[in-house]
Amino acid sequence: MPPSPVPPPRDEHDLRVRAHCLTGRTLGDLARELRFALGQAALHTKGKAGELVERALGAGAVAGPPSNGDPRSLLDFPHLGIELKTVPVDERGRPRESTFVCALPLGHADAMEWRGSWVRTKLSHVLWLPILTREHAAWNERVVLEPVFWRPSREQDAVFQGDFDDVMGIIASGGIEQLTARIGRWLQVRPKAANGRARTIAHGPDGEPIATVPRGFYLRPSFTEAILRDPRAVP
């Protein structure tokens, strides 16, 4: 008989207690405790660590608000206004990869503004959980490290807005195919699709609809590393 789902945290304090209680636990410990099934093929699937930690914290049990345009419904803990981000790090605390934030809706990107954007909502209050991922270590040997609760300062928010506006300007001018991961100080845009055949619609240089690879917003590892060390950092 499968275990009962972990109930959602009552408030932010409850979430903080739960997150700190995970410190030092291995993913193998959590998977056994929660009877989290992972097939052999799934062991190498990105996102499984995040899914496991979400379940341990009760994120999967949260009933978010209906899809009514409220961006808070996109969060892992919508009733708290908090997003969870697991970050695989090496022994020196350096992230091993960029951190996915959210999909970039290309169809109406030209009308998007930073203040009401999905990406700003996702980054408005984040629970960072670094996962120690040693070279060649098995997935079940990965260790959950100390959590970091973070809200962007005004200065950090301004840098994000600058990156966002640069990206939106390129897309609005029909330059989606010229948009590369090199653009953006902290935020970058990269392809985000289940496979190489996936396509979505964007606008070309003359406003014509064109088929292109779906994109998503990512955080550069240099930014995430700095925030994990000092939430007020401005790298």
Confidence of residue 159 (pLDDT cuts 50, 70, 90): very high
CA 209 vs CA 75, 149, 162, 168, 202: distances in Å: 30, 41, 26, 16, 6
CB 23 within 8 A of CB 57: no
pTM tops 0.75, yes or no? yes
Pairing of strands 126-132, 83-89: parallel
Question: Which H, E and C letters describe 80-126, residue by residue?
Answer: CCEEEEEEEECCCCCECCCEEEEEECHHHHHHCCHHHCHHHHHCCCE
Non-local (6+) Cβ contacts of 66 within 8 A are 73
Identify the pLDDT of residue 208: 82
Measured distance between the N- and C-terminal CA atoms of the chain, rounded to whole angstroms: 49
Judged against a pLDDT cut of 60, whether residue 62 lies above it is answered with: no
* Chain centroid offset of residue 154 CA: 21
Q: State residue 45's pLDDT score.
A: 54
3-state secondary structure of 56: helix
Which residues on adjacent β-strands are paired with residue 86?
Answer: 129
**Unique residue bearing structure tokens 């275990």:** 3
- pLDDT over 90 (residue 71): no
* CA neighbor of 86 nearest in space, from 133, 122, 127: 127
**Range of weakest confidence among 56-70, 74-88, 113-127, 135-149:** 56-70
3-state secondary structure of 175: coil
Average pLDDT over residues 109-121: 89
DSSP annotation of 194: S
- What pLDDT does residue 64 have? 35
- Residues above pLDDT 70, as percent of the chain: 89
| C-beta of residue 25 within 8 angstroms of C-beta of residue 130 | no
Pull the structure tokens for residue 168. 């939106």
Question: What mean pLDDT, rounded, does the chain reach?
Answer: 88
The pLDDT of residue 231 is above 90: yes
- Split at pLDDT 50, 70, 90, the class of 73 is low
Q: What is the pLDDT of residues 2-23, one digit of tens each?
A: 556 899 999 999 999 999 999 9
pLDDT at 60: 59
Higher-confidence residue: 74 or 99?
99
Q: Considering only 54-58, 73-77, 112-116, 158-162, which range has the smallest mean pLDDT?
A: 73-77
CA 78/CA 43 separation, integer angstroms: 28
Residues present in the chain in total: 235
Please write the tens of the pLDDT for every residue from 190-230. Answer: 998 777 788 888 888 877 888 889 899 999 999 999 999 99
